[in-house]
């Protein structure tokens, strides 16, 4: 089976983790700060705060912004549920905006229509690895001084107008899950230029405490104070060592992801699948390669047929994502109904994610493309009999 995504772990990564196992600090040690500094330097952010997952990073971002009960936060309909779940976790209310049908990025026009006196923030999701239209989002947000959170869990290494993801919003959230551009097994980070926000997130990840164990050790003191609510959202030195080792290889992996995407694009010029449009002012990070069955292809082939047949041939196709508000929890507990975001719902019916990870060979990609074409064409022939 060719999976839709897979981590790459080499001997350097293993050696980096083993070195930490032989050290004095397995967690809350110097490796955490080193990883934070490395990611901040790579992205151009001033501060990085490592946490236990991308979901924890989203939760921490909502806390740092002071989102609370009754506060509305605009979020795109097409995203992983964690994006909007983080709003619920602090008592806020997700207000779903529609997406651009050609990119599946949050639609600034829909955002503008959603604004109300209860709106307290905007979350922009850099879907599949492509940055959103931050110029227009900032223009909309500036009229009400609303903070923007970039959910860039798909987009480490992407750029917008020459600026790296990590510098495009008030807070930027990253994920280091194994299917992402680099991995710490599980892990995440919040990037910002705002020291106060960074300090709030550091306390939030560590039970709301004023001092970490390492800081108390350095001060030869047992004294600490709980100054805020918080959780154990810490990332260990073991994981950070893996992250530092992986980050050094990221530029080459990004180049490979872009080469794979270009190969897919070339193969799908026959019009059976329609890749997402890439904006001219971005460098895509290609966490995912997402395409939709064309109207002509849908005349004989459903997304379910394509998905099932690819799986039967050992190709790990996937689907990202059902509009969040169509999940049972959102419908039964929160009262959301179909029809809220028409472009998102229409896109969901025909979208499919094809394998995308740096270890894919050109032969793998060519095989996937041949199988996609054969499945769709066969379905069209059978449908026309």
- Whether 48 contacts 36, CB under 8 Å: yes
Residue with tokens 């530029």, as numbered in its chain: 251
Is residue 149 domain-resident? yes
- Helix, strand, coil % over all residues of the chain, rounded to 5: 45, 15, 40
Is residue 331 domain-shared with residue 241, that is, in the same domain? no
For residue 283, what are the β-bridge partners? 159
Return the CATH number at 365. Answer: 3.90.1150.10
Is residue 89 domain-shared with residue 177, that is, in the same domain? yes
Range of the domain at 325: 250-383
Q: What is the pTM of this model?
A: 0.96
Q: Provide the number of structural domains found in the chain.
A: 2
CA dist list (Å): 191 to 165, 382, 385: 9, 52, 56
Is residue 31 domain-resident? yes
Q: Residue 54: helix, strand or coil by DSSP?
A: helix
Q: Is the dihedral of CA 230, 231, 235, 238 positive or negative?
A: positive
Return the CATH number at 38. Answer: 3.40.640.10
Q: Residue 161: helix, strand or coil by DSSP?
A: coil
pLDDT at 219: 75
Is residue 82 domain-shared with residue 119, that is, in the same domain? yes
- The percent of residues in the chain predicted with pLDDT above 70, rounded, is 99
Catalytic residue set: 180
Residue with tokens 């026309």, as numbered in its chain: 384
Query: Strand 47-51 relative to strand 289-293: parallel, antiparallel, unpaired?
Result: unpaired
Q: Which tens digits make up the pLDDT trace of 63-98?
A: 999 999 999 999 999 999 999 999 999 999 999 999
Q: What is the per-residue DSSP string for 23-50? A: SS-SBSSHHHHHHHHHHHHHHT-SEEEE
Query: Above 50 in pLDDT, residue 33?
Result: yes
Determine the Cα angle at 80 with ends 251 and 342, to 5°.
115
- Whether 35 contacts 169, CB under 8 Å: no
- The percent of residues in the chain predicted with pLDDT above 90, rounded, is 93
Euclidean distance between CA atoms 196 and 63, whole angstroms: 12
Is residue 243 domain-shared with residue 259, that is, in the same domain? no
Q: Which tens digits make up the pLDDT trace of 149-161?
A: 999 999 999 999 9
Nearest residue to 201 via CA among 176, 172, 166: 172
């Amino acid at each position: 089976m060719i999976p839709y995504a897979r981590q790459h772990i080499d001997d350097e990564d293993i050696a980096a983790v083993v070195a930490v196992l032989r050290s004095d600090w397995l967690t809350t040690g110097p490796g955490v700060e080193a990883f934070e500094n490395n990611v901040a330097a790579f992205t151009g952010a001033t501060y990085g705060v490592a946490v236990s997952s991308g979901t924890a990073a989203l939760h921490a971002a909502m806390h740092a912004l002071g989102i609370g009960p009754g506060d509305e936060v605009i979020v795109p309909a097409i995203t992983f549920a964690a994006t909007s779940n983080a709003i619920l976790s602090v008592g806020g209310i997700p207000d779903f905006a529609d997406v651009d049908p050609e990119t599946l990025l949050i639609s600034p026009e829909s955002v503008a229509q959603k604004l109300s006196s209860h709106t307290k923030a905007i979350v922009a999701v850099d879907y599949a690895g492509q940055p959103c239209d931050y110029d227009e989002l900032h223009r909309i947000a500036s009229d009400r001084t609303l903070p923007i959170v970039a959910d860039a869990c798909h987009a480490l290494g992407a750029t917008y107008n020459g600026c790296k993801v990590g510098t495009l919003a008030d807070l930027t959230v990253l994920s280091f899950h194994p299917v992402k551009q680099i991995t710490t097994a599980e892990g995440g980070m919040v990037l910002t230029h705002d020291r106060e926000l960074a300090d709030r997130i550091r306390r939030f990840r560590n039970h709301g405490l004023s001092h970490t164990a390492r800081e108390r050790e350095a001060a030869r003191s047992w004294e600490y104070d709980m100054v805020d609510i918080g959780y154990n959202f810490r990332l260990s030195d073991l994981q950070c060592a893996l992250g530092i080792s992986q980050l050094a290889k990221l530029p080459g992996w990004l180049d490979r992801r872009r080469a794979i995407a270009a190969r897919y694009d070339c193969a799908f010029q026959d019009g059976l699948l329609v890749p997402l449009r890439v904006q001219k002012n971005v460098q895509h990070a290609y966490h995912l390669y997402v395409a939709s069955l064309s109207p002509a292809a849908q005349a004989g082939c459903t997304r379910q047929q394509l998905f099932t047949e690819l799986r039967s041939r050992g190709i790990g196709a996937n689907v990202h994502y059902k509009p969040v508000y169509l999940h049972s929890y959102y419908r039964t507990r929160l009262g959301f109904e179909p029809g809220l975001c028409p472009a998102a719902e229409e896109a969901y019916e025909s979208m499919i994610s094809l394998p995308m990870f740096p270890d894919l060979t050109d032969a793998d990609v060519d095989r996937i493309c041949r199988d996609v074409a054969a499945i769709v064409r066969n379905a069209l022939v059978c449908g026309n009999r």
